[in-house]
A and B are shown apart, each in its own frame.
Chain A
Amino acid sequence: MLTFVNIVVAGLLTGCVYGLMALGLSVIFGVIRIINFAHGAMMVVAMYFVLVANQKFGLDPLVAMPLIAAALFLAGYALQRGVINRYIARPEHEQFLLLLAVSIILTSSTLIAFGPDARSVHVDYAYDSYEIGGVLVDKVRALAALGAISGVAALWAFFRFTRTGKSIRACADNHVGAEVVGLNVKQLYAMTFGIGATCVGASGALLLLLVDVQPYIADDYTLLAFIIVIIGGLGSMPGALLGGLLVGVSEAVSGFVIMPSLKSMFSFGLLIIVLLVRPQGLLGRHV
């Protein structure tokens, strides 16, 4: 029984990081109405930067997290401003092809630069753990979850209290209305994509504490982010978090009870059920 609790707790903690990653996808879709098929590829690029920072300069991934988050904000901003903005009113398949091309270019760039082998960071506390009431908690997992939660809290505060955050929410609610009151929608869209990229960068840094990085995992994480936001509700911020926690626990439990290689089958199964029973997602408002 205690083992089971351990597993669920570990799943919840990993789920926090998943939640932050999926939040990026959800924010981008909720505001710009574009599905970011390059989500996993952007995260893999961020993970490699954190890896290099760790191996060359001994930087802890937790310290690198704000730096990579800021770098990805700029990259995301530039990408939206330079390329994606032109595709906003275009058909879905053109947007898909555009982001697919971006994804292929990013993934293959990491392949050219770092080769196909799996790599990981080394931190001194990799094997430390806390014991809380008999439940064992890995230190890396706890720190990663803490990092993710603070990222989510910062994002929430940004959308709730800052003028830019409110303007972005206004764009999401009513595009035409936002233009009528004089908001610079293109600029705000670029900000939004930057914020989505920030989530990806931060969660990549945190995830690197838990998993190895290799170029080919990009598609898996893109799919994982899709699953999470659809379960939670595309465009809903609390939904992305809830979806992240659910998928984290589902992966951990099915990996333990049945077998690790079947864990994503359960996530996809969960996704199919949610789509059929409640297509707008658990916390989504409308399709």
Chain B
Amino acid sequence: MNLLISSTMQRRSAMALAFFVAVMLVLPLFAGNYVVSMLVVVLFSAYVGQAWNLMMGYAGQLSLGHALYVGLGAYISGALFVHYGLPPWIGMLAGMAAAGLAGVVIAALSFRFGVTGVYFALLTIAFAEFTRIAFNHFAWVGGSSGLYLPVVTLTRDDIVHLRGSPTMFYYVLLALTLAALALSHLLLGRRVGFYWRAIREDQEAAQAAGIDVFRYKVAAVALSATMTAIAGALMAFYDNNLYPDTAFGISRSIDIITAPIIGGLGTLFGPILGAFVLTMLSETMTSLSANLGVNGLKQWIYGATLLVIVMLQPAGLWPWLKTLLRLDEGKL
């Protein structure tokens, strides 16, 4: 009987996922430019949230400095393009390598020296802030006045050179988000996923059970950092201008982690849901406070909404919505 219920639920969740993908695929056909560019922000946040969720939601390592990896991905691919004309996808690989390496160094240093928990989280902020200030004084990338990528107006989208309309970036980011969803799902079912969750629940017990805790924690940070750098590179070619304060700043790090926490930490679909909810909220508030002409109203309502969610649904919105929609426990 239980088996029967669980298989109908699995079918329901597979159908829900297929429905979501179908809607997302056709959405740009009906939506205007404004909506598409908003959805680009949603997908950026969803994808980075998933990358962060791998490290925090599954392996239990709290990073409050994820802007570091966005910034490295963005600045390295951007600067290589500006200075040497290196194609975006190759620059992206360089950015991924640098961010992955930064992740390994930070994680290895911290975990080797026994820096964990709150102290690890504060250390990640310190590295991000250190890099932000350093880039503000780094003339090769324009310092605090920013790095500008030359813009060419094209009649059609050029995905090889990452030049084109918001719709093109929308589909690239949609592909990345779905790939990240698939990767998370795949890793969770494998040895590494079980090891991560064991470490998250009780590191000492995991160690006692013979898991190489150090190696798996470093691997989680490295994977998360590398994935995050991809989004950074896309951001560089989408925005065409980069500033250290916005690329590496603490407010970006906070933005990155609020979506997956609001959506539901350690769930597959939570980061996506959280990204939708928070971006929509933020956009609505921006237009509302522009109409009313009140400085700070947007942030106030945003903060109040966060407060309401964390008080009513501290485990996030997805676990609550999932029960409401009667979807399978394990699948999404």
User: Which residues of chain A have a CB within 8 Å of any CB of chain B?
Assistant: 35, 83, 90, 92-94, 96-98, 100-105, 107-112, 115-116, 215, 219, 223, 226-227, 230, 234, 259, 261-262, 264-265, 268-269, 271-272, 275-277, 279, 287
Contact = CB atoms under 8 A, between A and B. Distances in A.
Contacts of A230: 119, 122
B265 to A, nearest CB: 6
Given A93-B265, A223-B129, A275-B115, 4 more contacts: A102-B307, A105-B303, A272-B130, A279-B119
Given A101-B303, A102-B307, A279-B113, A108 B126 contact: no
A47 B117 CA distance: 32
B304 A109 contact: no
B133 A94 contact: no
| Leading 9 A-B pairs by shortest Cβ distance | A111-B296, A104-B303, A108-B299, A101-B306, A101-B307, A265-B133, A108-B300, A105-B303, A108-B296
A241 to B, nearest CB: 19
Contact of A100 (B130, B254, B265, B298): B254
Contacts of A116: 295
A105 B304 contact: yes
- Residue from the set B62, B126, B250, B254 with the largest chain A CB neighbour count within 10 Å: B126
B281 interface: no
Given A97-B310, A101-B304, A115 B250 contact: no
Contacts of B262: 97
B133 A276 contact: no
Interface in B53-87: 56, 62, 64
B148 to A, nearest CB: 21
Contacts of B121: 92
B89 interface: no
B6 to A, nearest CB: 28
B307 A226 contact: no
B127 interface: yes
B307 A98 contact: yes
A90 B314 contact: yes
Interface residues of B, number: 48
Helix, strand, loop or mixed for chain B's interface?
helix
A112 B297 contact: yes
B127 A272 contact: yes
B150 interface: no
Interface in B150-174: none
B123 interface: yes
A105 B115 CA distance: 31
A103 B122 CA distance: 17
Contact of A272 (B62, B126, B137): B126
A234 B123 CA distance: 13
Contacts of A261: 133, 136-137, 144
Contacts, number: 126
A227 B126 CA distance: 8
B117 A92 contact: yes
B179 interface: no
A92 B62 contact: yes
A103 B134 CA distance: 27
Contacts of B257: 93
Contacts of A271: 122-123, 126
B303 A98 contact: no
- Residue from the set A92, A108, A115 with the largest chain B CB neighbour count within 10 Å: A108
Interface string B106-136: 0001100111111101110111011001101
A265 B310 contact: no
Interface string B181-207: 000000000000000000000000000
- Residue from the set A100, A104, A107, A115 with the largest chain B CB neighbour count within 10 Å: A104
Interface string B9-30: 0000000000000000000000
Contacts of B130: 265, 268-269, 272
A108 B251 CA distance: 14
A175 to B, nearest CB: 17
Given A108-B303, A279-B119, A268 B126 contact: yes
A245 to B, nearest CB: 19
Given A98-B310, A279-B119, A226 B295 contact: no
A219 B250 contact: yes
A275 B300 contact: no
Contact of A104 (B114, B116, B123, B306): B306
B251 A97 contact: no
Interface in B193-251: 250-251
10 contacts: A92-B118, A100-B254, A109-B300, A112-B297, A234-B118, A264-B133, A268-B129, A269-B130, A272-B127, A272-B130
Contacts of B250: 219, 223
Contacts of B126: 227, 268, 271-272, 275
